Amino acid sequence: MGNNKKRPHTDHHRRLPPIPPSNKKPHHHQSTTTTTTTTTKRPVFSSYKDTPDLAPKVKLLCEIIAATPSLTIERVLDDTGIRVSQPDVEDVLKLSYAHPGSSVKFFRWSGHQLSHKHSPYAWNLVVDLLGKNSHFDPMWDAIKSMHKEGLLSLATFASVFSSYVIAGRVKEAIMTFEVMGQYGITCDVIALNSLLSAICRDGKTVDAVDFLRVVKGRIRPDADSYAILLEGWENEGNVTCARQTFAEMVLEVGWDPENVPAYDSFLSTLIKGGAGFNEGMKFFETIKDRGCYPGVKFFKVVLEDCTKNYDVQGAKVVWNMMVGRIGFRPDTQMYNSMIALYCYNNDAHMGMQLLDEMVYNGVFPDAETYNLLFQFLIKSRKLKEASLLFNEMIKNEFAPNRANCNAAVRVFIEAGEAYSAIKIWRSMNENYDSDLEESGNILVVGLRDLDMVPEAVKYAEGMIDKGIKLDSSSLSKLKQSLIKMGKGNVYDELLRKWKVH
């Protein structure tokens, strides 16, 4: 649907590797005051050791960079006789952030082979890895070299913004934005949004809001600008500031049906931040009356909230609005939330109806879907339905989880449904290698109590052969039945196997 279209908040240049997260926890600001510079821990970088299926050449170069001091690395690289391409350089740099000195030396060394024609992406990686290690002077040297080569882009400066922000130096990030024009990069709203995104991503949304108020006289913010701020407040859980930013957005850019991310974040903040279901839905109605709608994220958040609070009626309202009036197609996770709610409300019929509906709509159940329903059917002793669902699960290669299997064996045995219990037990043996003792003993004793002694002996022998512990009490009960039947020799053979194992 058109109103479910999400506009990206990133620039349109080639993406840099994901920014390593800061180890600092975001603060929940209550007022917009300038934050002070803080010191952050060094981020944890991706390593070649954690990357499977690396090309042997790339892996060797990464190993050399990781193990060799920067003073001697060029000589070691020369001794390898390796020839590199532009993609090789990019792949090595992406996995060598933890060794900035040696990485830069590798970059220079490889430049000789490439006639000093590195790709813009490789240059951006150098700028990024220097910045993420807080080597800001060399970072600016690299930027100046890129400027001379005409290789700078907004992606370069987006990296610089992020590096300064995660180092706790928001003022320097803002100063970088102000001098971009000297390097041929336009200070437009796209660049502004890139800066705002970097600041908000690190839990400093208050600083982003303060700067926007200063700069909006010369750069008009757009819908994405406010969507970025609202996502920041959502991540920080700041309901009060989210309300203020939302009101300012409506005043500055009006109502925009395509501004789905902003409505998503604002409404999600209300639900998650303690404002509650009622206020969230009140604002939803206001937004809807203006011809605008949030996206799937909000509906997931509100359904999760209803599930947490066992609010079946609230979930029904949201579901009918989402599916019936707006026409969104729920995904598997959302169906699972609704099925869980109906199960909590002892409504197996609606839970099963949703299972049929999701398949009809081309949404595929997963292990959680089936286990939610199976658990409820077993717990409420709806054994016919549970048996049918179990057959469907096995057909679709979704075995019940261990806890559900244990419960099912016990309940089927207690209900005298021996063959259903046996089917569950066989599934357990096919899918699990441990923690089978409890269910196995329940099955053996249960079959014996149901006057199915030959079957009880069969499964007792199977347990012994597979190394599953058969309790002495189970063996004793089998002894009583076998002797009573005049089959003491069968017991003697069973006892012999039991002692051997």
**pTM score:** 0.78
Statement: residue 22 has pLDDT above 60: no
| 131-135, 245-249, 459-463: least confidently modelled range | 459-463
Q: What is the structure's pLDDT at 242?
A: 97
Q: Confidence band (pLDDT; 50, 70, 90) for 5?
A: very low
Q: What is the mean pLDDT of residues 488-497?
A: 86
C-alpha to C-alpha distances, 441 to 29, 311, 420, 421, 467, nearest whole angstrom? 58, 40, 16, 12, 13
Q: What is the structure's pLDDT at 40?
A: 52
pLDDT, tens digit, 9 for 90 and up, residues 341-354: 999 999 989 999 99
Quote the CA–CA distance of 369 and 390 in Å, as a whole number: 12
Burial of 362 (0-12, 13-18, 19+ CB in 10 A): exposed
Average pLDDT in the chain: 89
Statement: residue 209 has pLDDT above 70: yes
Statement: residue 289 has pLDDT above 50: yes
Q: What is the structure's pLDDT at 338?
A: 94
If you search the block for the tokens 């299997």, which residue do you land on?
Answer: 405
Statement: residue 44 has pLDDT above 50: yes
Q: Which helix (H) or strand (E) holds 369?
A: helix 367-379
Q: What is the structure's pLDDT at 33?
A: 35
pLDDT, tens digit, 9 for 90 and up, residues 157-192: 999 999 999 999 999 999 999 999 999 999 999 999
Statement: residue 239 has pLDDT above 60: yes
Statement: residue 377 has pLDDT above 60: yes
Q: What is the structure's pLDDT at 12?
A: 33
Q: What is the structure's pLDDT at 391?
A: 96
Statement: residue 41 has pLDDT above 70: no
User: What residues have CB less than 8 Å from 365, skipping those under 6 apart?
Assistant: 332, 335, 355, 358, 359, 396, 398
Q: What is the structure's pLDDT at 42?
A: 62
Q: Confidence band (pLDDT; 50, 70, 90) for 23?
A: very low
pLDDT, tens digit, 9 for 90 and up, residues 184-194: 999 999 999 99
pLDDT, tens digit, 9 for 90 and up, residues 61-77: 999 999 999 999 999 99
Statement: residue 219 has pLDDT above 60: yes
Give the type of residue at 102.
Answer: S
Burial of 118 (0-12, 13-18, 19+ CB in 10 A): buried
Instruction: Determine what percent of the chain is predicted with pLDDT higher than 70.
Output: 91
User: What residues have CB less than 8 Å from 353, skipping those under 6 apart?
Assistant: none
Q: What is the structure's pLDDT at 439?
A: 95
Domain 413-500, what fold? 1.25.40
Domain spans in the chain, listed from the N-terminal domain onward: 413-500
Q: What is the structure's pLDDT at 322?
A: 85
Q: What is the structure's pLDDT at 275?
A: 67
Q: Confidence band (pLDDT; 50, 70, 90) for 323?
A: confident
Quote the CA–CA distance of 315 and 312 in Å, as a whole number: 5
Q: What is the structure's pLDDT at 34?
A: 36
DSSP string, 210-235: HHHHHHTTTS---HHHHHHHHHHHHH
Furthest-apart CA atoms within the chain: distance in Å: 100
Quote the CA–CA distance of 93 and 105 in Å, as a whole number: 11
Q: What is the mean pLDDT of residues 16-42?
A: 39
Q: Which helix (H) or strand (E) holds 358?
A: helix 348-360
**Closest residue by Cα to residue 125 from 236, 51, 6, 17:** 17
